[in-house]
Amino acid sequence: MSRIESGRMVLRNEEFSFSDMLEQINTMVMSQCNDKGLHYECRILSPVDNNYLGDDMKLKEVLINILSNAIKFTEAPGSVIMSVERTAVFEDQSTLRFCIKDTGLGMAITRGIIELMNGTINVESEKGVGTEFTVTVTLRNCMRRDEHPEDLIDLHSRYALVVDDDEVDAEHARMVLGEAGIRADVCAGGEEALRMMEVQNTKHEPYNLILMDWKMSEMDGLEASEKIRKQFSADTTIIILTAYNWDSIKDEAEQAGIDSILSKPLFAPAIIEEFKRLARRNKTGLLKEKKQASLAGRRILLAEDMEINAEIMMDILDMEDMLVDHAENGRIAVEMFAESEVGTYAAILMDVRMPEMDGLEATAAIRSLDREDAGKIPVIALTANAFDEDVQRSLQSGMNAHLSKPVEPDRLYRTLGELIYEAEN
């Protein structure tokens, strides 16, 4: 206290890893909370950088002081929650706010350190309800940016599903993945995750990365992961996220087919580092794309009632040297397929909405034909309606994939190549 008052306390101004600092705090606080039977969470409410310039030792001291005080005056079963958010960015500086909330109580040295940082600390306490400390500090931004490792597949080709029944945590994970260049969807539980994966597989745009919360109310992350492994591609990378001590579930996680476990809160560099580690461990699903058949010379059956749409599709297919037979509706498509020799067509592109017989009925009719190729020929739905229920209907009728109009040529070529390869092998 005398060093603060006399102005002899000097603050460092060095680059430090913000994520490492939080991880060290969380490890210590989690241990204290576990010993006392308390629930602890650390939440990142808005984007923060991985590196800043400042005195991380003093900042860590302040936060641990407040957190330890909160633990001391909170009785089990209670909780201690720390939230972190960036509230402002101006030129080369960022203002960060730490909120520490407990269900018990709550400091002259702590206040002194924060004031040296030109920050503020406030406390609100209500008897029988709890105490909330708010620490606000401004740190200089660190210009260094973590580069994506060259030995990884382009992260932009990753498509993730975040499964977490905590809406805040789920959105934070999606935000962090976005920072790493990975697009992501979110859902609130295992059953919903299985439905969404089925839909994306039908669209031929499957999730190749699943971030799964361990503790969920209806179905925990291990059970959900087991079901995913049984129903979907082994190439999908599954990473469990947890704010708890996960040593006790390592063996179970391995049996459930989980590739890795990461601690909350999540940071983009942690995801990238985990990709590097998995790649070194020869996790091939992380690195390779699906095999594709050559398309040149393949004959495709196109069922499309709109003449202009049919002409566009035939032009797109012709650019890859494919041959096309056009059927004006579903009934004609069934007749053309039934009258062709086995193996004539490599795939069928089927518009869903057509007169006389729609694409769903036509696909079901083709699948029911008594011929060798009726069950395995790839049938791809084409529709202007991309709602999930329509995707489910096309899946139930026996279609292999679902493409939305207007069809992107590259996606069409990739889908045809992958499905033809799978049918032939």
176-179 own/partner pairs: CB under 8 Å, 24+ apart: 176/44, 176/266, 176/267, 176/268, 176/271, 177/211, 177/268, 177/271, 179/47, 179/268
CA distances 104 to 66, 76, 130, Å, are 12, 10, 5
Identify the pLDDT of residue 125.
85
Environment class of 372 (CB within 10 Å of its CB; exposed 0-12, middle 13-18, buried 19+):
exposed
Percent above pLDDT 90 for the chain: 39
Range in 274-283, 290-299, 343-352, 400-409 the model is least confident about: 274-283
At 212-237, the pLDDT tens digits run 998 888 888 899 999 998 888 677 88
Q: Quick check: 145 pLDDT over 60?
A: no
Identify the pLDDT of residue 149.
42
Which class does domain 299-424 fall in?
alpha beta
At 385-422, the pLDDT tens digits run 655 555 667 777 788 888 888 888 988 998 999 999 98
Average pLDDT over residues 274-294: 64
pTM of the model: 0.54
Domain boundaries, the chain: 2-141, 155-286, 299-424
Identify the pLDDT of residue 280.
54
At 78-114, the pLDDT tens digits run 999 999 999 988 888 899 999 999 887 546 777 888 8
CA nearest neighbour of 411 among 325, 335, 349: 349
Q: What is the DSSP letter of 262?
A: E
Identify the pLDDT of residue 17.
87
- The architecture in CATH of the region 2-141 reads 2-Layer Sandwich (3.30)
**Would 155-286 and 299-424 be classified into the same CATH topology?**
yes
Instruction: For 349, list phi and psi in degrees, rounded to 5.
Output: -100, 120
At 325-357, the pLDDT tens digits run 999 999 999 999 999 999 999 999 999 889 999
Identify the pLDDT of residue 391.
66
* Cis previous bond, 77, omega within 30: yes
pLDDT band (50, 70, 90) for residue 150: very low
Identify the pLDDT of residue 11.
79
pLDDT band (50, 70, 90) for residue 164: very high
Identify the pLDDT of residue 287.
47
At 172-209, the pLDDT tens digits run 888 888 887 888 999 999 999 999 999 988 888 889 88
CATH topology of domain 155-286: Rossmann fold (3.40.50)
At 183-193, the pLDDT tens digits run 899 999 999 99
At 351-378, the pLDDT tens digits run 988 999 999 999 999 999 999 999 999 9
Task: Check: CB of residue 423 under 8 Å from CB of residue 378.
Answer: yes
